[in-house]
Structure 1
């Protein structure tokens, strides 16, 4: 297996500030002894209970933080900070409201000193790839939520990264837009061959997008299971989510995740809100 991403025995701890209840402060272990390989070009989805360290793991991959122990490597090199080989897309679009769509996508390229014509050409190519050709001169307030997220994806792809890290990028969108962007993301992934690590709370989304689904345990996050997803030719299926194989994988991941949600509740790490959503304690 040609692993582009390698995590070896990764543990990440955070120092907690002193409070009235804990005058001495303390330590929170978010991830514990996690090892994982991600082959080049794979689409890996990541699920786990709230507080299981999903975003912490993405921060480690992005170089936004360093592991307490263990190693994080990309292309055989230790990750010591952010790099243009890794693009990151967050749930919040973080677009500059005073810049047009094109100017938002070219922003990072400007910092690299790429000539204006070249960076505009590259940005236009990426906007066409995400289906926003013709919207180059629009400002963020003139775009829908789904279109803003397309701009954020185009901005990350403009660097031509080998890895795209995505932290629940579709969570704030309505169901119809979310499904549409899932299709678009798979199309972009096939076209670019980029390695994708995609965090989601949605089991159906994880199964629909991922070639493998990594299930994290309740806090501290460990790798509980890796579920191989074989759905054949996804492009040929008229209604993949109704397919028997899809239902099987969804139930398998649900069972694994449900065990961890219950464990987190029993340990007091997770509270279920009146609306049924999770909240880390």
Structure 2
């Protein structure tokens, strides 16, 4: 029996009005992809491909100009507790402890105080921060803050976890450690995860499938199945299958980066011409 679709994007377009310009700016065009229930899907694309715009649409922070976004078959019309979001910046409340930050979403759900504390401690344990519940954000490292942010998003039991380059600001060693931690958490919870990154290695390491976006306006150029045995004792990042997948995705992206640079140069040339005639 096929796995049901949890998140469905169909023909999604997003345009923005540019102040002082007659024409609108198109960030996304005809984005179509399904995310299966319990799947870990990674979106990777060049700078300016609309990755973060897409996450804003999925989070209900923006409305699409066309197409539709469905969660469990129902249109996404605004923010909701059925989606947890983890941003690149930790967005923790500095006046709350780690436990207090995790309890924040539970308060919005109306969970009673004793149950909030139990759940917060459970999720602190899940992300490897048992015993750190009374620490304030300024007393935690970058990696620990991001663990708290993940725990906070998971604690109110969302249908989907949306992650916007959550490890980009971390050093390489911490980033790899948290990638392992996130895979462990995903295997334990089987949450549906949509993870956005510009890192090819990160995409291949984490995703069951990787959706490659084109340069602006962003479209889904290809969806690549990632068939890797992540439980092998060897360093999977050094394996031949990993290198082959990485090269395949790099090739798909390389063409888009070159196209984006060509379009950017043409736009700059056009601006210069207008300036000289003005």
Query: TM bucket by the smaller chain?
Result: over 0.9
Q: 1:253 aligns with which of 244, 249, 255?
A: 249
Alignment partners' CA distance in 2, 1:70 and 1:111: 30
What TM-score, normalized to structure 1? 0.92
Q: Which runs of 5+ in 2 are unaligned?
A: 268-278
CA deviations over 1:72-104 (Å, ceiling 9, x no partner): 001000110111111000000011111111001
Match of 2:15 in 1: 13
CA RMSD of aligned residues (A): 1.4
* Equivalent residues of 2:109, 2:156 under 8 A apart: no
> How many angstroms does 1:269 deviate by?
7.2
Tell me the TM-score normalised to structure 2 length. 0.93
Greater helix share, 1 or 2? 2
Question: Which residue is 1:274 aligned to?
Answer: none
2-structure distance, mates of 1:26, 1:100 = 47
Distance across 2 between alignment mates of 1:195 and 1:16: 35
| Residues 248-270 of structure 1: CA deviation (Å, up to 9, x unaligned) | 00000000001100000011179
Distance verdict in 2 for CA 1:107–1:269, change over 3 Å: farther
SS of the residue 2:12 aligns to: strand
* Residues 47 and 201, structure 1, Cα contact 8 Å, conserved in 2: yes
Distance 2:266 2:79 in 1: 31
For residues 194-219 of structure 1, what are the alpha-carbon distances to aligned partners after superposition, in whole Å with 9 as ceiling and x for unaligned? 01110111100000000111000000
Provide the residue aligned with 1:35 in structure 2. 32
User: In the alignment, which residue of structure 2 is the partner of 1:173?
Assistant: 170
For the 8 Å contact 1:95–1:152, the answer to whether it is kept is: yes
Matched ranges for 1:85-124 at <5 A: 85-124=82-121
What is the number of residues matched between the two proteins? Answer: 265
1:125-184 deviations in Å (ceiling 9; x for gaps): 111000000000001111000000000000000111121000000000000000000000
Higher mean Cα deviation, 145-154 or 234-243?
A: 234-243
- Shift of the alpha carbon at 1:25? 4.5
Q: Report the secondary structure of 2:202's partner residue.
A: helix
Range with bigger deviation, 57-66 or 36-45: 57-66
CA contact (8 A) 1:219 1:269 kept: no
* Cα distance between partner residues in 1 of 2:110 and 2:216: 43
Matches for 1:71-150 after TM superposition, within 5 Å:
71-150=68-147
Quote the Cα distance in structure 1 between the aligned partners of 2:205 and 2:81. 28
Query: Are the aligned partners of 1:215 and 1:223 in contact in 2 as well (CA < 8 Å)?
Result: yes
Where in structure 1 are there 5+ consecutive unaligned residues? 19-23, 272-281
Helix, strand or coil at the partner of 2:24: strand
Q: Distance in 2 between matches of 1:25 and 1:88?
A: 34
Task: Report what 1:48 is aligned to.
Answer: 45
Deviant stretches of 4+, over 3 Å? none
